[in-house]
Amino acid sequence: MTVDPNAATQGFPSPPPDHHRPSAARYLVPALVAAAVAVALGVYGKVHDPAGTAFNLAGFSSTGAVKSWLATVAIFFALVQFTSALMMYGKLPGPSWSSTLHRWSGRAAFLVAVPVAVHCLYALGYQTYETRVFWHSLLGCFFFGAFSAKMLLLRSERLPHWLLPIVGGLVFAALTIIWLTSALWFFRTFGVTT
Ligand code: HEM
C-alpha cells in the first residue's frame, strides 16, 4: 500500500504564508555580522604592532587634538540623530523632514568618526592598560559591529517595532562612552585647545 504524504492536507486550503513572524535569519545575519566586525577589529587592534603614527591638520596642536575635535563633531551629529529619532517616533514634535535629518546626521557622524577610529586602531591598537582605555577600545570595536547590524536591519521589513530603537540606542550609547573615555579625557587633561 502506498501512502500519499499530502493526504492529511488534501482538500484543505494551505495555510497563508506567515508575514508577521520574521525568520530567524533576519536577526541572525545582522547579529553574526556585528560579532564578526567587532571581533575582527579587536583582533586586528590586538595582534598588529601599533604604528604610533601621528598626523596633524593645520591649526591643530597635535593628533590627539584633531581626533578629539573630530570625535566631538561626531557626538554632535549623534545627538542630532537621537533627537531626530525621537521626532520620527512621535516622542518629540518635529518637522516632516526629521527622517531626512536622521539619515544625513547619521552619515555625517559616521564619516567623521571613521578616520579617528582608523588612527586609533592602526596607530594605537587595542589597549587595556587602564580601565578607561579598556572600555574605550572595547566599545570602539563594539560600535562598528552594532553600526553594521543597524545598517543591515534597516534593509529588513516587518521587524518588531522595538528592535531598531534598541540597536540605534546601543550605537548611540557606545559612541557617547567612546567620547567620554577619549575626547573628554583629552580636553580635561590637556585643556580645550585646538
Ligand atoms: C568611533 C570610534 C572611535 C572614536 C571616535 C575614538 C576616538 C578617540 C580619541 C578622540 C582619542 C584621544 C586622542 C588620542 O589619544 O589619540 C582616542 C584614543 C585612543 N583610542 Fe580611540 N576612538 C575610537 C575607536 C577606537 C578603537 C576601535 C580602538 C582600539 C581597538 C581605540 C583605541 C584607542 C586608544 C588605545 C587610545 C589612547 C587612549 C589613551 O591612552 O588615552 N579607539 N580615541
pLDDT value at residue 1: 40
pLDDT value at residue 22: 57
pLDDT value at residue 4: 47
pLDDT value at residue 2: 42
pLDDT value at residue 59: 85
Going from the Cα of 32 to the center of ligand 1, the distance in angstroms, rounded, reads 25
DSSP string, the chain: ----TTGGGTTSPPPPP--SS--HHHHHHHHHHHHHHHHHHHHHHHHS---------TT-S-HHHHHHHHHHHHHHHHHHHHHHHHHHTTSS---TTHHHHHHHHHHHHHHHHHHHHHHIIIII-S--SSHHHHHHHHHHHHHHHHHHHHHHHHT-SS--TTHHHHHHHHHHHHHHHHHIIIIIHHHHHH-S--
Residues framing ligand 1 (Cβ under 6 A)? 41, 45, 63-64, 67-68, 71, 74, 113, 116-117, 120-121, 124, 126-127, 133, 136-137, 140-141, 143, 175, 178, 182-183, 186
Q: What is the mean pLDDT of each run of 10 residues along the chain (194 residues)?
A: 45 54 80 97 95 81 94 98 95 95 97 97 96 98 97 88 94 98 97 88
**Mutate-to-test residue for ligand 1 from 110, 119, 182, highest number of ligand atoms within 8 A of CB:** 182
pLDDT value at residue 7: 45
